[in-house]
C-alpha cells in the first residue's frame, strides 16, 4: 500500500509516523516527520462532553416514583418528564446542563423499572406503542440488551434505536411537511414535529439526541467518540420509554386529524456484484483479525470491545450489527491518524458545542479549514481514499454510513457482501498502521495477504468518471448487438413492388471515416491502428481497452465535473437510441413475417434498416470520442475561460443531437430520413471542431509536445 511507513505504538497508543513518502496520483507528495501523542488515549470525549455524558446526570441523588412516569399499562406521563426540562431566563431556550442534571434521577428510575420487567411484561405493556416506528422487533431487542447489561450491546442498541427513531420521526414529519430534513437536529427542531407532539416533548428529545449542547448520544456514538463504558445504560432505557410515549401521542394526533401514518420504503442495495471487491472473510481470517485488533495501534484500547463485538456479529451473520459497530471505529482510527499527520492532536476529541466534530466528511477533504493540505489522503494513498469515497460519499455509491445511521435500511436484510467489504478494508488498515515487526507474519498469512493485495489496487466504482466508463461500455455492448438483430432477407425485400435501397447514408459514412483518421493520431501508443479504421477503431474491444486507462478521480475540479455531467447525458441518450432501434427492429420484423405491415409501414421499415447502417458507426464514434476526451479530461484545466465555454457549447450541441435522435427514432415518430439529415449536420460539427484543434485529446498532445 505504498512506501509510507506509519508506526503506531501499541503500549501507549501513541502514533509515530516513520520518515517516508506516499504519493497520490494527481496530488503532491507528502513527507511526514516523527511525532507522537504524549499520553495514552483513554477517552475521545472532551472534558466538557465527558462530564455531560458520564457525570452530570448522576449528581442529583433524588428518586422518582415510577408510577409518576409510566402507568401500570405502560402509558407515559409526559408532564412529569417535560417539567424537568429547564429553560434559561434570558431567552427561554433550553438550559441543557440543568436539564440533564434534573432528568438524570428520572432516567435512573425508568432504568430500574425496565430491569424489573420480564420480556413478556415489557412486550404486553409497550409493544403496541412501538408499532409507529415500524421497528417493534428491534425495540424489543433493545430491551433484551438492557437486561444483559453488556456495555457494547447497550451502545449498539442505542445506535440502532436512534436511527430507527429518526426514520420514524421523518415519517411523522411528512404528515405535515414536504421535504424531511436530512439532519436529526434539524428534524427535532422543526415546527412540523412540534405541531404533532408539542414543543415541550421535542425539547426533551433534543436534550438526549438532538443538540450538540445536550447529551448528543446519537452523534458521539455514530461518529466513534464514545467507548462502550462511557454510555450510561439508563439513557438507553429512557429513550426506549420516550419512543413508546411518542407512539401514544401520535395515536391521539392521528385520531384527531383522521390521518394515517405512511412509512417510507427502505432503501435496498443494488448491483451487489459491483461491491464485491475483497475475497470472502472466513473463520480463520476472523480469528486473525481479532488478534490484529488487539495489537494494532489503529485501535484505541477503550474501543477494542467494539471491534471484538463486530467480529462476533459477523460470525453470527448479523451483518448490519457488524457494520454499525465497525464504521464508527474506522472513523476513530482514521481520526487518530488524521490528527497526527496534520499535527492537531486536540481534534481527536469531541469538539465543544460551538464547533463541528472532526468526522469522515472533513477527514476525506483535500484541504483543512485553514487551507493547509490535508495530509491524511497522502498517507492513505489513492486506492484507500477511493474506497472510502465510494462506500461513504459518492451519491451513486452505497453510502453505507448515511443510510444506516438515518434508519433507511432494513437491518434484517443487510447484505453480507457489504459487511465483508467494510470488514476486509478495516483489516488492511489494521495491518498498515501498526508495528511492522509484530505483524509481518500475520500480513503474509494466506487469509490476510489477498485482502491487502485487493486494497492496494482498488479503483473507484462510483465516481462519475467510473460511472461514465460503465455507461459507455454498456451502450457499446448494446450497439454491438445490432448485427444479430433479425433482418428480412434481401430477396423478400426485392419482391415488394416500389421498394428500393437508398444510398444516402454514404456521406455520413465518409464523414465518419474522415473524423476517425483525425482521431487515430491521439490514441495511446499501444492502441495505434493503421488499417480498417471503421471496424478496428470503433470496436468494442478497443473501447474496453481504453476504459481500462486509469484516470485520477480524487478532488476533481468543478470544470471536470461539469463536463462529466454532459458526457453522461450524451451516453444515456445514445443508449436510449440503441434500445429503441433494437425494439423497433424486432417488432417490425415480426410484423413483416406475419404479413401485417401496411405498404407505408414496409417503406418505413426499409428506411429504418438503411439508417441502422450509418447510425451504428456514428453512435460508436461518439462513444469513442467521449472516452478519448475522458482519458484527457484533466487537461480541461489548461483551457482559458473562453475556450472552455466553446468546448462546453460544442458538447451541448452533441447532446442536443442525441436528444433529437432519441425523438426521431422513437416508435411514435419513426423519422428515419430526418435522422439521417440530423446526423450529417452533427458529423460536420464534430469534424469542424476537431479541425480547429479544440478537443481535450488535441490539447493534451500539444502540452506533451511543448
Bridge partner residues of 67 (DSSP): none
| Same domain as 587, residue 505 | yes
pLDDT beyond 50 at 400: yes
Mean pLDDT in residue range 630-646: 95
pLDDT beyond 70 at 611: yes
Q: What is the pLDDT of residue 508?
A: 86
pLDDT beyond 90 at 613: no
**Which of 65-74, 519-528, 670-679 is predicted with the least confidence, judged by mean pLDDT?**
519-528
| Same domain as 645, residue 677 | yes
| Same domain as 492, residue 434 | no
pLDDT > 70: what percent of the chain? 89
Domain boundary among 412, 432, 456: 456
| Same domain as 159, residue 31 | no
* Domain ranges, residue 363: 6-40+271-456
Which triple of cell numbers denotes residue 608? 429504418
Bridge partner residues of 87 (DSSP): 94
Whether 264 is covered by a domain: the verdict is no
Q: Cα 69 to the chain's mean position, in Å?
A: 41
Whether 695 is covered by a domain: the verdict is yes
Q: How far, in Å, are 57, 428, 432 from residue 437 at the CA level?
A: 45, 16, 12
pLDDT beyond 80 at 504: no
Distance CA 396, CA 412 (A): 23
| Same domain as 700, residue 601 | yes
pLDDT beyond 50 at 31: no
Mean pLDDT in residue range 115-133: 96
| Same domain as 52, residue 31 | no
Nearest to 521 by CA among 648, 628, 644: 628
266-291 per-position pLDDT tens digit: 999 988 888 889 999 999 999 999 99
Q: What is the pLDDT of residue 487?
A: 79
Whether 262 is covered by a domain: the verdict is no
Nearest to 626 by CA among 403, 470, 483, 444: 470
Domain boundary among 257, 292, 309: 257
| Same domain as 285, residue 426 | yes
Distance CA 68, CA 81 (A): 9
Mean pLDDT in residue range 644-673: 95
Give the predicted TM-score (pTM) of the model.
Answer: 0.89
| Same domain as 199, residue 282 | no
| Same domain as 281, residue 426 | yes
Instruction: For residue 91, count CB atoms less than 10 angstroms from its CB and return exposed for 0-12, middle for 13-18, buried for 19 or more.
Output: exposed
Whether 263 is covered by a domain: the verdict is no
| Same domain as 611, residue 628 | yes
| Same domain as 525, residue 667 | yes
pLDDT beyond 60 at 27: no
| Same domain as 384, residue 451 | yes
Task: Domain count for the chain, please give it.
Answer: 3
Buried b (16+ CB within 10 A) or exposed e, 40-73: ebebbbbeebbebbbebbeeeeeebebeebbeee
Distance CA 87, CA 102 (A): 12
Whether 1 is covered by a domain: the verdict is no
Instruction: For residue 531, count CB atoms less than 10 angstroms from its CB and return exposed for 0-12, middle for 13-18, buried for 19 or more.
Output: exposed
38-55 per-position pLDDT tens digit: 357 789 999 999 999 999
Q: How far, in Å, are 103, 277, 320, 565, 566 from residue 641 at the CA level?
A: 60, 40, 48, 18, 18
Whether 85 is covered by a domain: the verdict is yes
Q: How far, in Å, are 164, 180, 364, 375, 663 from residue 186 at the CA level?
A: 16, 9, 24, 32, 44
Task: Report yes or no: 333 and 326 within 8 Å, Cβ to Cβ.
Answer: no
- When the pLDDT of each residue in the chain is averaged and rounded to a whole number, the result is 88
**Which of 171-180, 624-633, 694-703 is predicted with the least confidence, judged by mean pLDDT?**
694-703
156-205 per-position pLDDT tens digit: 999 999 999 999 999 999 999 999 999 999 999 999 999 999 999 999 99
Q: How far, in Å, are 398, 401, 461, 496 from residue 272 at the CA level?
A: 9, 17, 12, 51
Q: What is the DSSP letter of 212?
A: T
Distance CA 397, CA 551 (A): 18
Bridge partner residues of 17 (DSSP): 6
Whether 265 is covered by a domain: the verdict is no
Amino acid at each position: 500500500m505504498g512506501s509510507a511507513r506509519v508506526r503506531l505504538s501499541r503500549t501507549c497508543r501513541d502514533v509515530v509516523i516513520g520518515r517516508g513518502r506516499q504519493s497520490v496520483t494527481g496530488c503532491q507528495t507528502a513527507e511526514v516527520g516523527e511525532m507522537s501523542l504524549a499520553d495514552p488515549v483513554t477517552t475521545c470525549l472532551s472534558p466538557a462532553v465527558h462530564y455531560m455524558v458520564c457525570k452530570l446526570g448522576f449528581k442529583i441523588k433524588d428518586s422518582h416514583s415510577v408510577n409518576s412516569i409510566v402507568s401500570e399499562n405502560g402509558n407515559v406521563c409526559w408532564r412529569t418528564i417535560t417539567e424537568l426540562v429547564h429553560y434559561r431566563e434570558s431567552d427561554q431556550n433550553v438550559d441543557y446542563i440543568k436539564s440533564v442534571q434534573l432528568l438524570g434521577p428520572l432516567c435512573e428510575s425508568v432504568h430500574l423499572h425496565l430491569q424489573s420487567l420480564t420480556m413478556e411484561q415489557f412486550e404486553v405493556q409497550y409493544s403496541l406503542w412501538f408499532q409507529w416506528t415500524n421497528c417493534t422487533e428491534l425495540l424489543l431487542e433493545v430491551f433484551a440488551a438492557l437486561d444483559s447489561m453488556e456495555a457494547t450491546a447497550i451502545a449498539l442498541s442505542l445506535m440502532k434505536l436512534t436511527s430507527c427513531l429518526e426514520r420514524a420521526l421523518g415519517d411523522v414529519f411528512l404528515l405535515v411537511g414536504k421535504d424531511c430534513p436530512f439532519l436529526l437536529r434539524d428534524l427535532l427542531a422543526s415546527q412540523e414535529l412540534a405541531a404533532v407532539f408539542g414543543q415541550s416533548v421535542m425539547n426533551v428529545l433534543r436534550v438526549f439526541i438532538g443538540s450538540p449542547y445536550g447529551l448528543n448520544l446519537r452523534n458521539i456514538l455514530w461518529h466513534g467518540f464514545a467507548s462502550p463504558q462511557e454510555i450510561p445504560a439508563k439513557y438507553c432505557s429512557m429513550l426506549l420509554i420516550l419512543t413508546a410515549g411518542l407512539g401514544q401521542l401520535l395515536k391521539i394526533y392521528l385520531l384527531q386529524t383522521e390521518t394515517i401514518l405512511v412509512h417510507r420504503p427502505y432503501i435496498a442495495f443494488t448491483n451487489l456484484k459491483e461491491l464485491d471487491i475483497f475475497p470472502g472473510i472466513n473463520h480463520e481470517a476472523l480469528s486473525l483479525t481479532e488478534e490484529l485488533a488487539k495489537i494494532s495501534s489503529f485501535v484505541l484500547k477503550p474501543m477494542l470491545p467494539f471491534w471484538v463485538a463486530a467480529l462476533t456479529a459477523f460470525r453470527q451473520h448479523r451483518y448490519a450489527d457488524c457494520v454499525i459497530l465497525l464504521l464508527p471505529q474506522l472513523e476513530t482510527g482514521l481520526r487518530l491518524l488524521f490528527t497526527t499527520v496534520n499535527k492537531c492532536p486536540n481534534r481527536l476529541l469531541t469538539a465543544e458545542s460551538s464547533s463541528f466534530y472532526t468526522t469522515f466528511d472533513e477527514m476525506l477533504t483535500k484541504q483543512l479549514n485553514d487551507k493547509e493540505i490535508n495530509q491524511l489522503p497522502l498517507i492513505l494513498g489513492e486506492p484507500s481514499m477511493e474506497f472510502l469515497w465510494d462506500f461513504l460519499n459518492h451519491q451513486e455509491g452505497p453510502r453505507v454510513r448515511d443510510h444506516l445511521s438515518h434508519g433507511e435500511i432494513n437491518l434484517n436484510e443487510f447484505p453480507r457482501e457489504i459487511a465483508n467489504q467494510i470488514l476486509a478494508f478495516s483489516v488492511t488498515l489494521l495491518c498498515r498502521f501498526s508495528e511492522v515487526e509484530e505483524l509481518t507474519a500475520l500480513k503474509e498469512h494466506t487469509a490476510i495477504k489477498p485482502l491487502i493485495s485487493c486494497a492496494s489496487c482498488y479503483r473507484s466504482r462510483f465516481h462519475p468518471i467510473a460511472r461514465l466508463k460503465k455507461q459507455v461500455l454498456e451502450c457499446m455492448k448494446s450497439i454491438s448487438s445490432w448485427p444479430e438483430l433479425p433482418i428480412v432477407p434481401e430477396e423478400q425485400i426485392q419482391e415488394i413492388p416500389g421498394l428500393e435501397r437508398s444510398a444516402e447514408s454514404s456521406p455520413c459514412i465518409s464523414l465518419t471515416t474522415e473524423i476517425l483518421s483525425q482521431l487515430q493520431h491521439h490514441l495511446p501508443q499501444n492502441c495505434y491502428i493503421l488499417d480498417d479504421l471503421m471496424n478496428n477503431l470503433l470496436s468494442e474491444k478497443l473501447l474496453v481497452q481504453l476504459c481500462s486507462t486509469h484516470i485520477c478521480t480524487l478532488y476533481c475540479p468543478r470544470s471536470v465535473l461539469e463536463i462529466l455531467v454532459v458526457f453522461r447525458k450524451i451516453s444515456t441518450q445514445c443508449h436510449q437510441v440503441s434500445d429503441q432501434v433494437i425494439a423497433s427492429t424486432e417488432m417490425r420484423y415480426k410484423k413483416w413475417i406475419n404479413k401485417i405491415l401496411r405498404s407505408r409501414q414496409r417503406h418505413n421499415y426499409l428506411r429504418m434498416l438503411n439508417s441502422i447502417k450509418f447510425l451504428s458507426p456514428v453512435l460508436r464514434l461518439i462513444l469513442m470520442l467521449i472516452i478519448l476526451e475522458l482519458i484527457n479530461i484533466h487537461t480541461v484545466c489548461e483551457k482559458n475561460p473562453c475556450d472552455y465555454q466553446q468546448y462546453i457549447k460544442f458538447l451541448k450541441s452533441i447532446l442536443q443531437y442525441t436528444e433529437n435522435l432519441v425523438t426521431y427514432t422513437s416508435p411514435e415518430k419513426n423519422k428515419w430520413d430526418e435522422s439521417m439529415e440530423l446526423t450529417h449536420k452533427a458529423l460536420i460539427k464534430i469534424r469542424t471542431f476537431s479541425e480547429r484543434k479544440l478537443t481535450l485529446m488535441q490539447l493534451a498532445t500539444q502540452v506533451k509536445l511543448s
